[in-house]
């Protein structure tokens, strides 16, 4: 009877494990599809946005944990969003402004959700994310090549002023979207060795990045790639790996230069590349230019503590200021702007500390952090507060940082327990040695007493024998 009961209990545990694994599998499936569709951004609402809601529901069903270490992320995003809601008091009668703040709310929740998804350092989930994001980047890049080289009828929908926008509305968003998968592939080549398939995919994506003709994206990639290589070099476990990172970096730089030279041989690319490669464009300077508007925005910020609300600066002064940090103060007010600026700075600080901790997910964290560094820099010339991949990187950094902190604490606790165990063993050895020495001492004393007793008895017997001998 007891054997039957134990078998039933075992079967119940297996059924429970299978039931618990099902939501996890569904969550991973929805995560894969959601990330794959993240490249489809030229229609609104996009399939990605609908799938994000489904992904949120699956996170609840799979009981994805919330780590208290990501609480600062939640607090800063909440303050940022509260500032945006308060700014609506001035322009709340316009549907576009309400939709703008609603998008900010949705993206803020997405950042928190991604942080929760990866706060346990789940390597299977990270691999799913990696594969899905690379597929999404390849889909967008394929559309970009089709549009630029006019391979299909009506393929001009993938262009914006002769620049590749692919499945995005703006080349300045499409280009930065490709940087995170490029970093993942680059880090993979440096840590796991050369793979021809990885090299081909990198070449295809790098070509798509160049055809976006986005100066911000080019600078973003240069900064992020340098940051990734630097972090790989610093965190390398030995001199051999450091040498490998250095040699691969030199080789990759040579290959990229040769690739750019090859693309420049195409006339349609050559002329546009030389035009876009200029550091300063005509629309950057002079009245109404980018830098003019940024200078004007500084004085406007001081005059509007509660912000102007979404789109108001462009409506009043003719164009946007193209600086996400000024955007934070102009749209979300002093409270929201300060929260956004603090969020970026704290994320850079938290991520830098965590990226130095050896962990199985360290390559993913290096890629996310390096990409975020470039994105934070590009924010000075582009409004990035509504970029979906910005909040993905944000959530990845906070989630994997929490996982690294937890791993480090567990390692320290294990070391402490090991030290205590070794100390107990040492004390036990000392105690046993003392007991042994005491036993030896007592045995020696006993043997000495027996010897003295034998000598005494021999003396008594000799004296008795002498007394009985006749005189």
User: Helix (H, G, I), strand (E, B), or coil: what is residue 40?
Assistant: coil
In this predicted structure, what is the pLDDT of residue 182?
97
pLDDT tens figures, 225-267 = 999 999 999 999 899 999 999 999 999 999 999 999 998 888 8
Alpha-carbon distance values, 469 to 334, 455, 461 (Å): 124, 21, 13
For 471, residues 6+ apart whose C-beta sits below 8 A from its C-beta are: none
Reduce the DSSP state of residue 338 to 3 states and report it.
helix
Q: What share of the chain is helix, strand, coil (3-state, %, to 5)?
A: 80, 0, 20
How do the domains of the chain map onto residue ranges?
23-64, 67-416
Q: Could you read off the pLDDT of 289-324 as tens digits, one per residue?
A: 667 777 888 888 888 888 888 888 888 887 778 889
Higher pLDDT, 18 or 93: 93
Q: What confidence tens digit (pLDDT) does each residue in 324-377 have?
A: 999 999 999 999 999 999 999 999 999 999 999 999 999 999 999 999 999 999
Q: How far apart are CA 370 and CA 44, in angstroms?
A: 30
Identify which of 57, 58, 217 has the alpha carbon closest to the alpha carbon of residue 137: 217
How much is the pTM? 0.84
Give the torsion through C-alpha atoms of 342, 348, 349, 353, to 10 deg: 160
Write the CA distances from 6 to 3, 13, 26, integer angstroms: 5, 11, 31
Q: Do 206 and 182 form a contact (C-beta atoms < 8 A)?
A: yes
């Amino acid at each position: 009877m007891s054997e039957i009961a134990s078998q039933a209990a075992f079967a119940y545990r297996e059924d429970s494990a299978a039931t618990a694994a099902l939501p996890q599998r569904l969550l991973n499936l929805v995560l894969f599809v959601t990330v794959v569709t993240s490249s489809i951004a030229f229609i609104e609402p996009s399939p990605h946005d609908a799938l994000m809601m489904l992904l949120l529901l699956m996170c609840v069903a799979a009981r994805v944990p919330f780590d208290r270490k990501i609480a600062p992320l939640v607090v800063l995003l909440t303050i940022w969003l509260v500032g945006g809601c308060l700014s609506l008091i001035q322009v709340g009668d316009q549907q576009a402004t309400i939709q703008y703040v609603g998008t900010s709310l949705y993206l803020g929740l997405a950042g928190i959700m991604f942080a929760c998804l990866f706060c346990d350092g789940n390597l299977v989930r990270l691999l799913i994310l990696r594969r899905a994001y690379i597929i999404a980047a390849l889909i967008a890049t394929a559309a970009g090549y089709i549009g630029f080289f006019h391979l299909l009828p009506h393929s001009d929908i993938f262009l914006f002023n002769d620049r590749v926008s692919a499945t995005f509305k703006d080349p300045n968003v499409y280009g930065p979207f490709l940087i995170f998968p490029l970093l993942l592939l680059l880090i993979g080549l440096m840590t796991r060795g050369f793979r021809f398939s990885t090299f081909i995919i990198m070449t295809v994506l790098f070509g798509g990045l160049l055809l976006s003709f986005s100066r911000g994206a080019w600078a973003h990639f240069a900064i992020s790639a340098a940051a990734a290589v630097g972090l790989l070099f610093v965190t390398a476990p030995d001199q051999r790996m450091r040498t490998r990172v250095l040699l691969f970096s030199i080789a990759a730089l040579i290959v990229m230069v040769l690739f750019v030279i090859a693309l420049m041989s195409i006339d349609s690319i050559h002329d546009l590349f030389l035009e876009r490669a200029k550091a300063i464009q005509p629309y950057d300077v002079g009245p109404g230019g980018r830098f003019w508007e940024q200078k004007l925005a500084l004085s406007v910020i001081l005059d509007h503590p509660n912000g102007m609300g979404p789109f108001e600066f462009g409506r009043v002064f003719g164009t946007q200021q193209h600086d996400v940090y000024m955007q934070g103060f102009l749209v979300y007010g002093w409270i929201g702007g300060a929260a956004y600026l603090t969020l970026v700075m704290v994320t850079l600080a938290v991520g830098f500390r965590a990226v130095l901790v050896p962990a199985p997910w360290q390559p993913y964290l290096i890629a996310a952090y390096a990409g975020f560094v470039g994105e934070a820099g590009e924010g000075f010339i582009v409004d990035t507060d509504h970029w979906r991949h910005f909040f993905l990187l944000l959530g990845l950094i906070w989630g994997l940082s929490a996982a690294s902190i937890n791993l480090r604490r567990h390692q320290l606790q294990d070391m402490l327990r090991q030290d205590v165990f070794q100390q107990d063993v040492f004390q036990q050895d000392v105690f046993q040695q003392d007991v042994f020495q005491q036993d030896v001492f007592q045995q020696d004393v006993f043997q000495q007493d027996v010897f003295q007793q034998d000598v005494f008895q021999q003396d008594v017997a000799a004296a008795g024998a002498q007394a009985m001998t006749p005189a």
